[in-house]
């Protein structure tokens, strides 16, 4: 397994693969890998084929974190991540730092910009306006920018994202379509713990009591499915019922619950079979998300 930290070296290798017609599968991550990430690696390997290459990037992207969010304490364990990647048969792990990805990025317009400062961002203006885009208004600009950069450096034939971040996957698909990236986006199913909690690097933040209560997100998805019983139901009524349902977990605090068209992400007033549901819940200070098609 090869470990590359420089952007130019990653792109040079990717261009060589292109000349050799090597198929490349790509899994972008922020590290602290778990079984969910490894399921994406397996999907990338299947799609790339035995003669293809699989690249995993490990980079905690600062531009998708607001100043009040958990960038500084986001879990990191590169040594462990590299071991997992090696065991999973990854060919290349790309581990850039901020200087490689955002040369001399300045946050204030009052600072003098040098000739190498970073000032270009990729913005999706429709699908990013709801749900996560409301709670975290700068988040998706950071996501689309870093993914666009990674696509230009890794030059993959396909990239695999997890369904847990449903809105993110939809936005990446739209970016690829609108900007003509020659990359096929694969959205792989959410991997869950035995009790139903969606696997997430942020689960590490939960203490034992919070971990037990965090399963309320999965139970809320199940409750919404049961409430429908394959019949139409008012979205407003179901939201109210689920907000009450979540009070069963004392440390849980609802951020949002939304029902929407899975293709357009437009909210619906009536929840019917095929409607997508997404929710974000604080358990203690840890913010968790989940979603399901009803």
Which residues are catalytic, by number? 37
Interatomic CA distance for residues 218 and 168, integer angstroms:
19
Helix/strand/coil percent split, the chain, to 5: 40, 20, 40
Q: Bridge partners of 292?
A: 277
109 three-state secondary structure: coil
Torsion angles phi and psi, residue 88, rounded to 5? -85, -5
Interatomic CA distance for residues 96 and 99, integer angstroms:
8
Interatomic CA distance for residues 59 and 210, integer angstroms:
27
Q: How many helices (H) and strands (E) does the chain have?
A: 10, 11
């Amino acid at each position: 397994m090869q470990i590359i930290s420089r952007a130019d070296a990653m792109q040079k290798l990717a261009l060589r693969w292109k000349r050799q017609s090597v198929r490349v599968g790509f899994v972008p991550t922020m590290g602290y890998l778990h079984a969910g990430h490894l399921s994406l690696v397996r999907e990338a390997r299947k799609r790339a084929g035995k003669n293809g290459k699989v690249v995993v990037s490990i980079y905690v992207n600062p531009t998708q974190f607001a100043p009040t969010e958990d960038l500084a304490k986001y879990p990191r364990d590169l040594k462990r991540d590299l071991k997992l990647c090696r065991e999973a048969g990854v060919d290349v792990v790309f581990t850039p730092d901020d200087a490689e990805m955002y040369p001399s990025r300045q946050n204030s317009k009052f600072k003098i910009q040098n000739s190498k400062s970073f000032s270009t961002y990729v913005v999706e203006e429709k699908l990013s306006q709801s749900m996560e885009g409301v709670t975290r208004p700068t988040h998706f600009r950071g996501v689309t920018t870093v993914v666009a950069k990674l696509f230009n450096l890794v030059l993959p034939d396909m990239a695999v994202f997890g369904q847990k971040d449903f809105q993110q996957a939809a936005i990446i698909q739209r970016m690829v379509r609108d900007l003509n990236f020659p990359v096929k986006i694969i959205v792989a199913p959410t991997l869950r713990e035995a009790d139903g909690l969606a696997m997430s690097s942020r689960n590490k933040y939960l203490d034992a009591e919070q971990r037990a209560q965090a399963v309320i997100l999965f139970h809320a998805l199940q409750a919404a499915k049961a409430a429908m019983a394959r019949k139409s139901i008012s979205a407003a009524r179901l939201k109210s019922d689920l907000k009450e349902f979540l009070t069963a977990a004392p440390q849980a605090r609802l951020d949002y619950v939304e029902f929407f068209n899975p293709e357009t992400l437009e909210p619906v007033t009536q929840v019917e079979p095929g409607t997508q549901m997404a929710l974000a819940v604080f358990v203690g200070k840890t913010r968790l998300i989940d979603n399901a098609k009803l």
